[in-house]
Amino acid sequence: MEPTNRPDVRNTVTDLLAVEDNPADIRFIEEVCSGSSLAVTVHSVSTSDAGLNFIHQRGKYADAPEPDLVFLDWNLEQTTGRAVLRVLNIEYGHIPVVVLTGSKAALKADHSPPIRADLLRKKPTDPDEYIQIIRSIDFDQ
């Protein structure tokens, strides 16, 4: 993924929102970020509703920062990531979104109209792959 050229995008990724229902995947992302040279704070939620509340800064997320990057699990337990991605596309188009899935075939099987994501990736198993994704957004790295 090439760094985005959208003028309203911040120059660094400091706040990453992971919308992910697997605690092991969240832990992996947090460990990768804390063990890297990146100064990224990982915020995590496990449902699409919580993801939307975080993005809209509602309820217990009223003081949450606007994320600079969203890692979105496409196959959330209750639903797909489609609802979160739709809102991000419409209301927060300046926030880059990386859709992560255990299986790209699951995404292809979803016959709904395509929704823009900045990157579609199979969930990385190598920590360096997460760092590469973040750095592709982070101009200062």
Other Cβ atoms less than 10 A from the Cβ of 62: the count is: 9
Task: Summarize the confidence of residues 7-15 as an average pLDDT.
Answer: 64
pLDDT at 80 over 80: no
Please state, in angstroms and rounded to a whole number, the distance separating the CA atoms of residues 132 and 18. 16
Q: Regarding predicted confidence, which is higher, 119 or 113?
A: 119
The kind and range of the H/E element at 45 are strand 41-45
Check if the beta carbon of residue 22 is closer than 8 Å to that of residue 55.
no
pTM: 0.83
pLDDT at 108 over 90: no
What's the pLDDT score for residue 106? 62
- Which string of DSSP letters, residue by residue, matches 77-111? SSSBTHHHHHHHHHH-TTS-EEEEES-HHHHHH--
What's the pLDDT score for residue 141? 36
Please state, in angstroms and rounded to a whole number, the distance separating the CA atoms of residues 86 and 93. 10
| pLDDT tens-place string over residues 22-39 | 999 999 999 999 888 888
What's the pLDDT score for residue 119? 84
Under CATH, which number does the domain 15-133 receive? 3.40.50.2300
Q: What is the domain partition of the chain in residue ranges?
A: 15-133
CA distances from 106 to 7, 11, 70, 96, 110 (A): 33, 33, 20, 22, 7
Please state, in angstroms and rounded to a whole number, the distance separating the CA atoms of residues 31 and 127. 9
What's the pLDDT score for residue 36? 85
